[in-house]
Amino acid sequence: MDNIIKIINEINPYVDIDYTTQLLEEEILDSLGIMYLVASLEDTYDIEINGEDIIPENFQNVNSINNLIKLARKD
């Protein structure tokens, strides 16, 4: 999960986050940031994230993003 935090820090380097930081609620990620994050996750983890999985619930915090990665690995 440290890789996820590292990617988010590349997107928004001016915030400190942990596994439970509310990324959307605290406006750390916006729609463009999510698209960059998806592309980076796909490259980093060699996965493909389905378009129907790009929903706010999957990007609430680092834990939910990690669950999304696990889901994508099963596909």
Q: What pLDDT does residue 74 have?
A: 86
Q: What pLDDT does residue 75 have?
A: 73
Count of other CB atoms within 10 angstroms of residue 57: 10
Count of other CB atoms within 10 angstroms of residue 68: 22
Q: What is the pTM for the complete model shown?
A: 0.94
Q: Which residues in the chain come in under a pLDDT of 70?
A: none
Q: Print burial letters for 4-18: b (CB count within 10 Å at least 16), e (below 16).
A: bbebbeebeeeeebe
Q: What pLDDT does residue 22 have?
A: 98
Q: What pLDDT does residue 71 have?
A: 94
Quick one: which of 53, 65, 1, 67 has its CA closest to 28? 65
Spatial separation of the C-alpha atoms in residues 15 and 29, rounded to whole Å = 11
Give the CATH fold of the 2-74 domain.
1.10.1200
